[in-house]
Structure 1
Amino acid sequence: DVVVVVRGPEAPVRLVQKVQRAGVWINSRPVLFEGAPGFYMTASTRPLSDIANFGQLRRLGVGVDHLRINAPDERRTVTRYGVRDVVISRLGDDYLDWRRAVIRLKEAAALYDTDPDGVTFVDRGLFRAEVKLPAVAPTGQYYAEVWLFQDGAPAAVSNLTLTVEKIGFERDIFEFAHRRPWSYGVLCVLLAAAIGYGASRVFRRS
């Protein structure tokens, strides 16, 4: 079995939850997750659960359910029984729900994907896997891993580094928006106002 994993650059994810206090809905204290790739995709010859067991996939970090996403600001170390230190989370039993929300948001934006039939063999020893990058995919260094599994265990792995960047006019706009966000915002407002004014003139004449 072959499994292809592609990871984009990591970026922190901040989440809030709507909670009701005194009859009013407000945002909860934000939770910051770290270690979440900006893009993550797995393609395999068959479902991951049929290729390796839960423990192997968790150890290798293969599959969205096994991503090492943590909320370090929510953790603290306490001493239990005066013998050993234990790391606990303020989120308690809700931690997995928060973590799943991170993955769900990424999947909705097509930034996380799992394709159990994404690897096809085109010839003996040769295979093909397609990686679909959405327009919102982050730029930067991407890391690809090609795992070969045999009898449920990893037999070999090959690593590849890719660079994703915007080109042409789109790149110029992207860089300008990040270098001068205020100027970019003002230009967007002026452009929207000009378009609105032009449209009102056209409708007025008709």
Structure 2
Amino acid sequence: MIQALPPPPPAIEAPPPERSEATATELRVAAALTDAQVKVDSSFRGATLVLYGAVFNPSDDPTDVVVVVRGPDAPIRLVKKTRNTGVWLNSRPVLFEGAPGFYMTASTRPLSDIADFGQLRRLGVGVDHLRIDAPEESRTVTRYGVRDVVISRLGEDYLDWRRAVIRLKEDAALYDTDPEGVTFVDKGLFRAEVKLPATAPTGQYYAQVWLFRDGEPAGVSNLTLTVEKVGFEREVYEFAHRRPWSYGVLCVLLAVAMGYGTSRVFRRG
């Protein structure tokens, strides 16, 4: 007797893949770094990190990406050579408190083509719009359509001193501007390189990835990066900061010992 087989169970349809509604309906940007920690030792000669990300754009409107990486702030002291009765003398020192030790921008095209002067100044995007605290700030005014522009005791000379700070940092490869540093490798996918020179300061770095559309900021992604000393260099660094007096005395003793040893060698020669 042949028994009929039961009918096969109904096919179960696979659920549709999950999709964020924000991804589907909102313009936004997401980014990450290949390495969020850089270790500095005696063999450190600089590093190149890759920042990559994606633009989620539900429309066909073109967008621009601007990457800003800022290192820890540190004071910088400047003097100017002035000629007085035929003698060159140093001017009164000027101390800038809030100059970032490292600053770079990379973008899909020149910043001036992405947004207007006022917008970039308000966001502090670009070396020309970088906020550097002037000494003895006295008051703020409105200039170029931007409120709270700092006016210091330097007066009109402030811009010359500020340009000097930027020029010195650029010569040391600590400030950089790349108007074509962000490239799209595929639809919505982009990359940019962050090049740290051997003289890059240690500490916490902050990266902002701005998304612009029609000259207006449409989104931002914030990242952090740590540059720290390791090995013997770290131990010396921490000792110098924990016990500055002991470190100073030790350096003097080492210098005296090396001087004495060198003099003995030359006497024998």
Fold-level similarity (TM above 0.5): yes
Deviations 1:143-183 (A, max 9, x none): 11000111111111111122211122332343344444414
Give 1:72's match in structure 2, choosing from 135, 138, 159: 135
Post-superposition Cα deviations, 1:103-141, rounded to whole Å, max 9, x if no partner, equal 111111111111112112222222111111112211111
The counterpart of 1:106, out of the listed 169, 182, 206, is: 169
Is the 1:14–1:31 Cα contact (8 Å) retained in structure 2? yes
| Paired position in structure 2 for 1:189 | 255
* Closer/same/farther in 2, CA of residues 150 and 88 from structure 1, 3 Å limit: closer
Partner residue of 1:51 out of 114, 125, 150: 114
Give the secondary-structure state (helix, strand or coil) at the position aligned to 2:210: strand
Q: Give the aligned partner of residue 188 of structure 2.
A: 125
Residue 164 of structure 1 aligns to which amino acid in structure 2?
A: V
- How far did 1:40 drift? 0.6
CA contact (8 A) 1:176 1:184 kept: no
- Identify which of 70, 83, 91 aligns with 1:20: 83
- Tell me the SS of whatever aligns to 1:93: helix
Which of the numbers 109, 112, 126 marks the counterpart of 1:63? 126
CA RMSD after TM alignment = 2.7
Tell me, in whole angstroms, the C-alpha distance in 2 between the residues paired with 1:10 and 1:120.
29
More helix by share: 1
| Structure exhibiting the larger radius of gyration computed from Cα positions | 2
Name the CA distance, whole Å, in 2 between partners of 1:184 and 1:109: 30
Matched length:
194
C-alpha contact 2:68 2:207 (8 A) present in aligned 1: yes
Question: Which of 160-169 and 173-182 deviates more?
Answer: 173-182
- 3-state SS in 2 of match to 1:65: helix
Greater CA drift, 154-163 or 88-97: 88-97
Question: In proportion to residue count, which structure has more strand?
Answer: 2
Change (3 A) 1:161 1:17: same
**Closer, same or farther: CA 88–147 of 1 in aligned 2, 3 Å:** closer
What are the Cα deviations for residues 54-98 of structure 1, in whole angstroms up to 9, with x where unaligned?
111111000011011121326369xxxxxxxxx853322211111
Task: Summarize the Cα distance change of 1:5–1:191 in structure 2 as closer, same or farther, 3 Å threshold.
Answer: farther
SS in 1 for 2:166: helix
- State the shift of 1:19 in Å: 1.3
Query: Contact 1:18/1:26 (CA < 8 Å) preserved in 2?
Result: yes
Measured after TM superposition, the shift of residue 45 of structure 1 is 0.9
Provide the residue aligned with 1:31 in structure 2. 94
Higher RCO (CA-CA < 8 Å; seq separation 6+): 2
